[in-house]
């Protein structure tokens, strides 16, 4: 099933009048997942008419301010809107205390349950076993503990081979088990293998988010084969030494990871404010990997099995 990724902020460090720090909204299997929550995230959600009341899961990569300074504002607005549904926040262990201190200082007793799920930056973890989507955290290499996230659709049920099912006279009540992969036993006791009655389901789609991080091949197995990979690309080749000092990546680094992980498309972001256009980032990335999109504010990337295309909202 198709999914879409809306880039709310693609700048690093400081926002400008038109650029926002990292935030993305992923809509996968009718669920909304907010990934990082930089300053201005809330305004960007409103600008894009996102259904904010449908956000139940927020994922924070690390505790540099450009990735979560919008979070307390969003949590507070949900309260003012009399939200009642539980909000799940996944992020570094210290995040819970940071948010609780702010809520206590303002004597805010939230109208809804807020549940924190601490992430660990030393191994891949399965952090959300959802009904329709699985989420994994991925260790990154940065100045402080930082994780990426991978979102994978749950596998669909097997597709019934209608002709075969009717030929064998499989009862309606047995068809669900076929879709779950079981063989079928006829009333005469004959076992018909599942593959004679069903076809493989549509393969699940996936999205991986890697920010912030220096070039690290350790991330490749975790993001291998994803349909869309976001990888930070703060710098271009000219600032290679700065990338190393600050533990960030260049556009070429991001593209090398995309190529080695054999993903379908790479999206860049987290640009340093020194660059006025994305041209050099794109050119340098395409030296290593052809399918590159420059992530920018309000760009919506639509991903399905046949195509990946971006629309400026
Ligand atoms: Zn950052
Ligand atoms: Zn950072």
What is the tens place of the pLDDT at every residue in 179-205? 999 999 988 899 999 999 999 998 999
Active site residue 66: yes
Residue 292's nearest CA partner among 218, 231, 213, 210 is 231
Read off the pLDDT of each residue in 87-101 and give the average, rounded to a whole number: 98
Residue 15: predicted pLDDT? 92
Read off the pLDDT of each residue in 87-115 and give the average, rounded to a whole number: 98
Distance 232 CA to ligand 1 centre (A): 9
Binding residues for Zn(2+): 62, 64, 66-67, 142, 212, 270
- Nearest ligand, measured from the Cα of 38: 1
- Nearest ligand, measured from the Cα of 146: 2
Tell me: pLDDT of 282 over 90.
yes
Binding residues: 62, 64, 66-67, 142, 212, 270
pLDDT in tens, 220-246: 999 999 999 999 999 999 999 999 999
Residue 194: predicted pLDDT? 94
Give a three-class secondary structure readout of 215-255: CCHHHHHHHCCCCEEEEECCECHHHHHHHHHHCCCEHHHHH
Tell me: pLDDT of 52 over 90.
yes
Backbone angles phi, psi at 177, to 5 degrees: -60, -35
Tell me: pLDDT of 279 over 90.
yes
Mean pLDDT over each residue of the chain, to the nearest integer: 96
CA distance linking residue 179 with residue 243, whole number of Å: 50
Residue 159: predicted pLDDT? 92
- Nearest ligand, measured from the Cα of 141: 2
The fraction of the chain above a pLDDT of 90, given in percent, is 94
Catalytic residue among 36, 66, 227, 253: 66
Tell me: pLDDT of 70 over 90.
yes
Distance 212 CA to ligand 2 centre (A): 5
Tell me: pLDDT of 1 over 90.
no
Enumerate domains of the chain plus CATH numbers: 3-156+202-312 (3.60.15.10), 159-198 (no CATH)
Distance 67 CA to ligand 1 centre (A): 6
Distance 185 CA to ligand 2 centre (A): 57
Element (H, E) at 165: helix 162-168
């Amino acid at each position: 099933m198709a999914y879409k990724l809306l880039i709310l902020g693609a700048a690093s460090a400081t926002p400008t009048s038109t650029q926002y720090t990292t935030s993305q909204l992923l809509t996968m299997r009718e669920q909304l997942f907010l990934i990082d929550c930089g300053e201005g995230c809330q305004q960007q959600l409103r600008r894009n008419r996102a259904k904010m009341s449908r956000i139940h899961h927020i994922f924070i990569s690390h505790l540099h301010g450009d990735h979560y300074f919008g979070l307390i504002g969003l949590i507070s607005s949900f309260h003012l809107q009399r939200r009642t549904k539980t909000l799940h926040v996944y992020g570094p262990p210290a995040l819970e205390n940071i948010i609780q201190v702010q809520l206590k200082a303002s004597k805010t007793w939230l109208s809804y349950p807020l549940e924190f799920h601490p992430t660990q930056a030393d191994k891949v973890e399965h952090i959300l076993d959802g009904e329709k989507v699985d989420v994994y955290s991925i260790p990154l290499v940065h100045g402080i503990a930082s994780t990426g996230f991978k979102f994978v659709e749950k596998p669909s049920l097997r597709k019934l081979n209608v002709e075969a099912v009717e030929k064998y006279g499989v009862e309606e009540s047995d068809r669900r088990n076929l879709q779950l992969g079981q063989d079928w036993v006829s009333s005469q006791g004959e076992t018909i293998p599942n593959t004679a009655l069903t076809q493989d389901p549509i393969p699940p789609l996936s999205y991986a988010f890697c920010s912030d991080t220096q070039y690290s091949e350790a991330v490749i197995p975790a993001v291998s084969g994803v349909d869309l990979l976001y990888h930070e690309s703060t710098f271009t080749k000219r600032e290679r030494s700065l990338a190393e000092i600050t533990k960030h990546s260049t556009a070429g680094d991001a593209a090398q990871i995309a190529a080695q992980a054999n993903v379908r498309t790479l999206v860049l972001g987290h640009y340093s404010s020194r660059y006025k256009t994305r041209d050099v980032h794109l050119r340098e990335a395409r030296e290593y990997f052809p399918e590159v999109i420059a992530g920018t504010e309000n760009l919506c990337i639509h991903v399905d099995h046949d195509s990946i295309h971006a629309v400026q909202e």
